[in-house]
A and B are shown apart, each in its own frame.
Chain A
Amino acid sequence: DIQMTQSPSSLSASIGDRVTITCRASQAIKSWLAWYQQKPGKAPKSLIYSASNLQSGVPSRFSGSGSGTDFTLTISSLQPEDFATYYCQQYNSYPYTFGQGTKLEIK
């Protein structure tokens, strides 16, 4: 199975900050990587697919990059609604696997 490792596991930041979350795959997954945002009690919401493509309706302050084994999610200017947990997920091969999550909290 492909292991997905996110860092950091938690992050405190302020409104307007630029934040970056990283995700590393245990083997190459080309660009078959997605990022999701999850708020408490809610289902995950798709933000980015194919490592760098924004899902329809997702604000442009979100961006993704990377290929192979190393990927990043960047939020350029944090807004109050961005405080949530973020997950990466590979869909290169079964079993699909997720990172352990990065909880983004208000400083």
Chain B
Amino acid sequence: EVQLVESGGGLVQPGGSLRLSCTVSGFNFNSYWMHWVRQGPETGLVWVSRIGSDGGSTVYADSVKGRFTVSRDNAKNTLFLQMDSLRVEDTAVYYCARVSGWYSPFDHWGQGILVTVSS
């Protein structure tokens, strides 16, 4: 069974940092591109970032470029999202999601983890 489990969320002050993890099982992690998607209380679903299967190719939404860094450890079946210079508007539930390759939808999602940025 394919499983994706996020961790590392919580409450952080504006300007702070947080690192999210997504640990996967049930599939060959190093063969899949992975994404982060967030869902804020007022913003709906918003795509955040993508990383290629070997970690060598990354893409970011303009709203997080330069502040967030996506990475992966294929030996540990884990995806990461390093979030720096956090803003109130980054408050959201963050999901990791799997795609099967080029021009593929998100076929499996984690359960989501809440990040709250507030003073």
Contacts and interface: CB of A to CB of B under 8 A. Distances in A.
A100 interface: yes
B105 A44 contact: no
Interface of A: 32, 34, 36, 42-46, 49, 55, 87, 89, 91-92, 94-98, 100-101
Given A95-B61, A95-B62, A44 B107 contact: no
Contacts of A92: 103
Closest 4 pairs (CB-CB, A-B): A34-B105, A43-B109, A96-B47, A98-B45
Nearest to B61: A95
29 contacts: A32-B103, A34-B105, A36-B106, A43-B109, A43-B112, A44-B45, A44-B95, A44-B106, A44-B109, A45-B109, A46-B108, A49-B105, A55-B107, A87-B44, A89-B106, A91-B99, A91-B104, A91-B105, A92-B103, A94-B47, A94-B50, A95-B61, A98-B44, A98-B45, A98-B46, A98-B47, A100-B44, A101-B44, A101-B45
A33 to B, nearest CB: 8
